[in-house]
């Protein structure tokens, strides 16, 4: 009968280190694929809020709408990232409706691809005077969850009388570029 040798050999350490290295490289690679820039083409760089609203008002689906005190949600049907922002969007809608905001949903179709909207899912908040409060993604990070969102801070500050006019163009997260 063969005796089993329970001692750890040097090649065991080499195999373990090699395996750990491969796991770390794979994790970095796959995480890097999911983290994309919200505005890779710099569409929003040095642009004013009034111009963003003006261009968005040119969308056919918004032609007859008034945007004062409104939240516009921009989504793409074929964007896998929308599923991660759905819970955040629903909570935002509940809170915003209590504060008197109107909710509009805009599906980005091929006719809007070259518009001012760099990626989906994204959101535009407009104050009671029709001025931009916030434009950008729901949040940053892999899951784009509520825990790392800026919209709640913007809404809270607006309730206190402050309009940040925040255009979030340098975010990294799960977005589908248009």
The reported pLDDT for the residue numbered 164 is: 86
What was the pLDDT predicted at 136?
92
14 and 75 part of one domain: no
Q: Is residue 1 part of a domain?
A: no
| Lowest pLDDT segment from 24-38, 94-108, 141-155 | 141-155
User: Does any domain span residue 123?
Assistant: yes
Identify whether residues 23 and 107 lie together within a single domain: no
Rounded CA gap, 95 and 176, in Å? 26
Strands 70-75 and 102-107: parallel
Using one digit for the tens of pLDDT, what is the confidence trace for 18-74?
Answer: 999 999 888 777 666 678 899 999 989 888 999 999 988 888 888 788 889 999 999
Residue % of the chain over a pLDDT of 90: 28
By C-alpha distance, which of 158, 87, 83 is closest to 126? 158
pLDDT of 78 > 70? The answer is yes
Task: Say if residue 21 is in the same domain as residue 67.
Answer: no
Number of domains in the chain: 2
């Amino acid at each position: 009968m063969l005796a089993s040798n329970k001692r750890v050999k040097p090649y065991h350490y080499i195999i373990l280190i090699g395996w750990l290295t491969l796991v770390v490289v794979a994790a970095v690679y796959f995480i890097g694929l999911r983290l994309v820039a919200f505005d890779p083409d710099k569409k929003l760089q040095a642009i004013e809020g009034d111009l963003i609203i003006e261009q968005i008002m040119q969308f056919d689906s918004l032609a007859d709408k008034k945007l004062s005190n409104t939240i516009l949600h921009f989504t793409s049907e074929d964007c896998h990232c929308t599923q991660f922002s759905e819970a955040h969007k629903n909570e935002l809608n509940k809170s915003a409706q209590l504060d008197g905001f109107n909710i509009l949903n805009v599906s980005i179709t091929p006719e809007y691809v070259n518009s001012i909207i760099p990626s989906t899912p994204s959101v535009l908040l407009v104050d009671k005077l029709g001025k931009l409060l916030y434009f950008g993604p729901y949040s940053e990070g892999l899951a784009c969850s509520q825990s790392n969102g800026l919209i709640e801070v913007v809404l809270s500050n607006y309730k206190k009388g402050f309009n940040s006019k925040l255009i979030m163009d340098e975010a990294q997260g799960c977005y589908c570029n248009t």
